[in-house]
Amino acid sequence: MEEVAPPSPAAEGKSVLHGRYELGRVLGRGTFAKVYLARNLRTGKSVAMKVVGKEKVIRVGMMEQVKREISVMKMVTHPNIVELHEVMATRSKIFFAMELVRGGELFSRIARAGRLREETARHYFRQLISAVDFCHSRGVYHRDLKPENLLLDDVGNLKVADFGLSAFADHVRSDGLLHTTCGTPAYVAPEVIGKNGYDGARADLWSCGVILFVLLAGFLPFQDDNLVSMYKKIHRGDFRCPPWFSSEARRVVTKLLDPNPSTRITVAKLVETPWFKKSPILKPVFAPASASASAAAAAEEKGKKETEEPQRLNAFHLISLSEGFDLSPLFEQGRGRREEGMRFATREPTSGVISRLEGVASRAEGRYRVTKSGATGVRLEGEELGRKGRLAVAAEFFTVAPSVLVVDVRKDAGDSLEYRNFCSDELRPALKDIVWPASDSQTTTTV
């Protein structure tokens, strides 16, 4: 590949990366990376270009962490998570073209304001839980949630960033738990410090509890100049809510900061609490993966039509979707196959596929409703509780050619066995006649 040197801050001209991105000024610097303002020359859209030096990363043994971050960010496409557009590389550098989030860190807003009004804190907290719950539904645990890793876009929506310390469900040991101690001390769950193993989802919820406390109070719940003393406070759950906390907010924080992970509140119960559901949402908050959480935003979605054009697949997407050219082992070492789902090509237009899915939803047992999912997809969500909550199935559409659509279907929430039964009994029969196989013998691809 052609080697491209990023511009220095003082450079008068602008470098062009791979003929596609014009690199501008430096937005930020880290130990191993710089972030530049960049512009996509084809679309004119501004992005944040993170440039990582391979040599430095390899020297400190962090290449696996970089690969994991790439893999995670391609999996977790969600309105409240910073989007990774594409990854490029030269002989010495890796380039991440990422969503440009202009509003800065949520931490900076807290530092300026001291603390947030309760309704504002609830608005951001809902979006945080939406993103975290979605990650957990994909088997991804962030493990470093804190206000510094929460960004705000130019209209004030929260975006979760920095998945460098994240873990997959496949990283658990035979005891079903994660064992790597990581995270920021003031936000880390007591069981993570204990080194006896921990559930990634419950540990993330503890961190969410610390974040909620900080949003409402303007300071940390567990503070001490001595790190050992602070850890002892964390293990005991030794904190006090300020007097300005409402009684409902106090109860939510206490349930989240329960030092016993087995009795700590879950997302499904959290989103049903009066405090979480209280008052109108200030701005549209996108639905989390769990069915209960999605109820908070259902009113915003009701009646909307799918008007966006399906995303056109570039080479990166085609490679990642192709069964024969699956490069996921490069970025998902030890994970095996990605989560189950099904994918098929069709000559049916997007509106036709959506009509089929709406038909499935109306006929299927358990009653399903169809809502918009992201910019180029729909979501079928059951109204009856299953073994692991309500089943939800997401379908995303991609244009391969003017008359060919690729539909990617996967479980978005609920039990895997119930999902497989739904696909075999309801979904496949309803879509069978619109599937366009590549040959007479080839049918729907299952992954």
Q: How far apart are CA 78 and CA 100, in angstroms?
A: 15
Q: How far apart are CA 77 and CA 135, in angstroms?
A: 9
Q: Are 289 and 373 in contact (CB under 8 A)?
A: no
Q: Is 54 annotated as a binding residue?
A: yes
Owner of token pair 């609830």: 122
Do strands 311-312 and 389-401 pair parallel, antiparallel, or not at all (unpaired)? parallel
Cα atoms in the Cβ-side hemisphere of radius 13 Å centred on 153: 17
Q: Does the annotation count 154 as an active-site position?
A: no
User: By C-alpha distance, which of 100, 71, 127, 55 is closest to 300?
Assistant: 127
Q: Are 331 and 71 in contact (CB under 8 A)?
A: yes
Q: How far apart are CA 349 and CA 403, in angstroms?
A: 8
From the candidates 133, 144, 258, 408, give the one annotated as an active-site residue.
144
Q: Are 25 and 44 in contact (CB under 8 A)?
A: no
**CB under 8 Å to 419, separation ≥6 — which residues?**
340, 391, 393, 411
**CB under 8 Å to 117, separation ≥6 — which residues?**
none
Q: Are 49 and 17 in contact (CB under 8 A)?
A: yes
Owner of token pair 């073209």: 97
DSSP per residue, 150-215: EEE-TTS-EEE---TT-EEGGG--TTS-B----S-GGGS-HHHHHTS-B-HHHHHHHHHHHHHHHH
Owner of token pair 């035979």: 174
Q: Are 288 and 269 in contact (CB under 8 A)?
A: no
Annotated binding site for ATP: 54
Annotated binding site: 54
Catalytic residue ranges: 144
